[in-house]
Structure 1
Amino acid sequence: MTVKETTDQTFEADTNTGVSVTDFWATWCGPCKMQSPVVEQLADEMGEKVSFSKMDVDENQDTPAKFGIMGIPTLIVKKDGAVVDTLVGYHSKEQIEKTLAQYTA
């Protein structure tokens, strides 16, 4: 499974069904560069249960503003279109798996 690029225009359609994780990031962000491979690995392992996407906050500013994202990386977890969890800063694979287990059981 791959991590899909999402934009302000496609975000709702990309994340309104089932469990989804969106990684809000920027090219200049060091912790984002550490988070990205973790998200990609989770997408490979959990892609059948969870959809994974990423959004560049420099190119897409409406969606991060809507969710009040002040720091990156931020992972937003949605279930059936509703935000159920927000993880700010770098998180390990285990931490993200533990969070997602609440919504994928």
Structure 2
Amino acid sequence: MGKKDKKKKEEEKEALAEDQEYFHGFLDRQDLPALLNENGDFLVRTTEPNSGQSRQLVISVMYDKSSNNDDNKVRHFIIQRTTKGKTNTYTIDAATFKSVPDLINHYVDKKEPS
């Protein structure tokens, strides 16, 4: 692997949040209740929406711990990745960021729902 390839791979890893404590890799929804205990707890995971489709990054957030309906307890937000030229951007809604950690930090700092 050349120097450029190695640098690009490191940049992609950093942009995708793989080295962050909130990143949990491939994780099914049914595993989330054991990891998200309080309202506001969150993690970033990868998921395969349908067999054979490419994996996506998802932010899963404990939303309503007291709900009797398990489907209402945790909300899931798919992180959209867009490539313009050689630049990747990440978004959930209208705001666009250079990396997943930048996106996470924005929502944690501003305490804004998506």
TM-score normalised by L of structure 1: 0.37
Bigger fraction of residues in helix: 1
Higher relative contact order, chain-length normalized (CA < 8 Å, sep 6+): 1
Which has the higher Rg, Structure 1 or Structure 2? Answer: 2
TM-score normalised by L of structure 2: 0.35
